[in-house]
Amino acid sequence: MNGSVSSTTDPGSGARRRSAATRDAILTAARERFATDGYERATIRAIAKDANIDPSMVMRYYGNKEGLFAAAVSVDLQLPDLAALPRDDIGRALVTHFLSVWEENEVLTALLRVGVTNQAGAERTQGVFRDQVLPVARQVCPDPEQIPARAALVATQLLGLALTRYVLRFPPTVALHRDEIVAWLAPTLQRYLTAPSP
């Protein structure tokens, strides 16, 4: 899978680098397992097997299962700067960005799956919302008091989409084309963020 650890072309040293390589292999395997199996069913043994090493190596490098999860799942939504956009485009921009990030990064599925059954996972999900979604809402909301509520509404719609499309896999939701999703959801988010409160 990874390879090229061979000591032939090493400017540095063999064993020194190997640890970094296997550490990465462990993290990659862990992300995959957490994303598809959730926290409880993603066993350290299975992750180690995917990474082609002994389970004890996982413990050596990450302490315990919680530490492995903490190290493997770190989310950066890379949300765009909404203040720089035309005010009427932020809904559309959010949906398209959200779809792209989610589809190219299995970490988000992992975080969602784990957050549902694991307390630490839920808190970590809350952290992503608090540290990355709320600030963006702050950029476009005039009334500071309404920011949490409006950001929360955005989260319900976007996470609901991810849940039914990428986790529960409702056939009609999976069948939706990207353009359809954008066309339907953009006005919703636009309203949640910019419309006067009802």
Partner DNA sequence: TGCGTAGGCCAACAAGTGTTGACTCGTTTG
Partner DNA sequence: CAAACGAGTCAACACTTGTTGGCCTACGCA
**Positions in the binding site for a second copy (CB under 8 A):** 37-38, 40-41, 112-113, 115-117, 122, 125-126, 129, 148-149, 151-153, 155-161, 163-165, 167-173, 175-176, 180, 183-185, 187-188, 191-192, 197-198
**Single-letter amino acid, residue 76:** D
C-alpha radius of gyration, the chain, whole number: 20
97 binds DNA per the rule CB under 7 A? no
Q: Are 194 and 85 in contact (CB under 8 A)?
A: no
**Single-letter amino acid, residue 191:** R
Structure tokens belonging to residue 40 = 């409880």
Number of residues that bind DNA (CB under 7 A): 31
Q: Which is nearer to a second copy, 23 or 150 (CB)?
A: 150
Which residues from 41-70 bind DNA, rule CB under 7 A? 42-46, 52-60, 64-66
Each residue of 21-38: b (16+ CB within 10 Å) or e?
A: ebbebbbbbbbbbbbebb
44 binds, among DNA, a second copy, none (CB under 5 to 8 A by kind): DNA
Q: Which is nearer to DNA, 22 or 190 (CB)?
A: 22
Q: How many CA atoms lie within 13 A of 124 on its CB side?
A: 24
Q: Which is nearer to a second copy, 25 or 128 (CB)?
A: 128
**Considering the complex, what minimum distance in angstroms separates the CB of residue 191 from a second copy?**
7
Tokens 């180690």 correspond to what residue?
48
